[in-house]
Amino acid sequence: MAMSGVMRPGFVQLRVLDLDEAIAHYEGRMGLELVSREADDRAYLRAYDEFDRHSIILRKADSPGMDVMGFKVATDADLANFEARLRNKGVTVTEIPAGEQPGMGRRVRFETATAHSFDLYSECALSDNGPMTDNPDIWRHEPKGMRIVRFDHCLVYGGDIDGTAEIFTECLDFKISEQAVDPENGMKIAIFLTCSNKAHDVALVRFEEDGKFHHASFYLESWADVGHAADLIARHDVSLDIGPTRHGITRGQTIYFFDPSGNRNEVFSGGYTYFPDSPLRQWTADQAGKAIFYYEKELNDRFMGVVT
Amino acid sequence: MQDADYQIEIEGEDGGSFTCAGDDRALLAMEQQGQHLIPVGCRRGGCGICKVQVLSGEYETLVMSRAQVSEEEEAKGFALACRLEPRSDLKLNVVNQIWIERRKEQLAKRQLGG
């Protein structure tokens, strides 16, 4: 797939109840690099194989959840084009000036039908510690903690997921790779959207409340690394949600856990390769257990209903 | 007295009790004792699933999501069990009782091999 327009999820900003505890988790347990901690009570982190300055922002707040998820677009012309398309569709758009996050160019923020905020941007400073480019070794320093390769995607919950998906597909050229529907009324229960070769870059699940955050996900190199993450979770009493297991949807090999403020994290490996001519994969609600947990074939109230 | 074991009693016909040390958090003590009296979510004060109202007893709480327990609710004894440390025996009312009922149905189904 020619990668143009929206290239990938670039960052997520999460709210945390205690910044020191959050850093101890994301840096100490998960193994992300702490890039900087700023005077406005935000901390910036990145994974070892990411070129850009940061991909995870933790902001101290009195309730957890997701402030905003950012997508990086290929060029400034793309940014202007997407902004025009969003405004044309009547989507609420605001401009975030360059430098609001250190190293970031201007961002175009839009609000979705499910009351989530997403940013588009085309410029981000490179990390001083990024992957090597000249006769490159596989990594500059050996990966720590869960050996996270990169930030990968988010899953968010809200009411009108069709409306949110429509913004992504019509204004930003995302494709729906996979979905789950209620066969009785055709209502979509879950929508998986991709802007790339990945099975999903952002996912939406229907829920009674808008603006909710289900998880931020990080990519690992292998199933063995998912097992290593499980060992770390057990050894250090990280709050486990479920796994290791596999999803039917996207086929990811996965484990879920919670950060010290209750935000859900996923680390996963695998997942199929998506191409723009891939037919839509679809699940029906009666097979939801297998769709979500391919091995257990049984839904779990905590996984389905616990959000921040 | 920090390490004394206190009795945590859950109100209602589906109630029951477990013990919790004074330096432990009620929800985690309950899980360690294999009980399903309060629903378990993130265990870290964020999701609000384990919300309870303390009907009697002394306790302290760690930081909790304001989106789940407002200041007014906190003043009325509402708390998240995962952030609740007893300082005496406690009597609790479980807010999200529906989660416990669903959990029991699932466990019963599994025991029947369903």
**Euclidean distance between CA atoms A184 and B3, whole angstroms:** 55
Average pLDDT over residues A59-88: 98
Q: Do A262 and B45 touch (CB under 8 A)?
A: yes
Chain B contact set for A258 (CB, 8 A) = 42-44, 46
Which entry of A200, A214, A219, A274 is annotated as an active-site residue? A200
Count of all residues that appear for chain B in the document: 114
Mark whether A200 is an active-site residue. yes
Confirm or reject contact between B54 and chain A (CB < 8 A): no
- Classify residue B111 by burial, with Cβ atoms within 10 Å: 0-12, 13-18, 19+: exposed
**DSSP state at residue A285:** G
pLDDT of the residue at B107: 75
pLDDT of the residue at A133: 97
pLDDT of the residue at A24: 98
Chain A contact set for B106 (CB, 8 A) = 298, 301
Tokens matching residue A290: 């297998």
Using only C-alpha atoms, what is the Rg of chain A? Answer: 18
Residue pLDDT, tens place only, A140-177: 999 999 999 999 999 999 999 999 999 999 999 999 99
Confirm or reject contact between B61 and chain A (CB < 8 A): no
pLDDT of the residue at B103: 76
pLDDT of the residue at A196: 96
Q: Are strands A202-206 and A150-158 parallel, antiparallel or unpaired?
A: parallel
Residue pLDDT, tens place only, A252-267: 999 999 999 999 999 9
pLDDT of the residue at B21: 96
Chain B contact set for A17 (CB, 8 A) = 45-46, 63-65
Most B-contacting residue of A209, A239, A265 (CB-CB within 10 A), to test interface: A239
Of the pLDDT bands very low, low, confident and very high (cuts 50, 70, 90), residue A184 is: very high
Q: Do B103 and A301 touch (CB under 8 A)?
A: yes
Chain B contact set for A18 (CB, 8 A) = 63
Q: 3-class SS at A164?
A: helix
Of the pLDDT bands very low, low, confident and very high (cuts 50, 70, 90), residue B1 is: very low
Confirm or reject contact between B46 and chain A (CB < 8 A): yes
pLDDT of the residue at B74: 97
Quickly list H helices, chain A: 19-23, 76-88, 161-172, 223-235, 288-292, 301-305
Chain B contact set for A212 (CB, 8 A) = none
Residue pLDDT, tens place only, B15-34: 899 999 999 999 999 999 99
Quickly tell me which residue has 């702490």 as its tokens: A34
**DSSP state at residue A27:** I
Of the pLDDT bands very low, low, confident and very high (cuts 50, 70, 90), residue B3 is: low
Q: How far is CA A288 from CA A58, A180, A234, A272, A300, in A?
A: 33, 8, 28, 19, 11
Average pLDDT over residues A75-101: 98
Confirm or reject contact between A62 and chain B (CB < 8 A): yes
Sign of CA dihedral A98, A103, A105, A110: negative
Mark whether A266 is an active-site residue. yes
Is the pLDDT at B114 greater than 50? The verdict is no
Average pLDDT over residues A77-101: 98
Q: Do A261 and B45 touch (CB under 8 A)?
A: yes
Average pLDDT, chain A: 97
Q: Do B65 and A307 touch (CB under 8 A)?
A: no
Mark whether A256 is an active-site residue. yes
Average pLDDT over residues A284-290: 93
Q: Is the peptide bond before A244 cis (omega within 30 degrees of 0)?
A: yes
Side by side, the strands of the sheet bearing B5-10 are B16-21, B5-10, B90-94, B51-56, B78-80
Residue pLDDT, tens place only, B39-80: 999 999 999 999 999 999 999 999 999 999 999 999 999 999
Which entry of A27, A111, A247, A274 is annotated as an active-site residue? A247
Q: Which of A101-110, B2-11, B53-62 has the lowest mean pLDDT?
A: B2-11
Which entry of A50, A157, A215, A219 is annotated as an active-site residue? A215
pLDDT of the residue at B106: 77
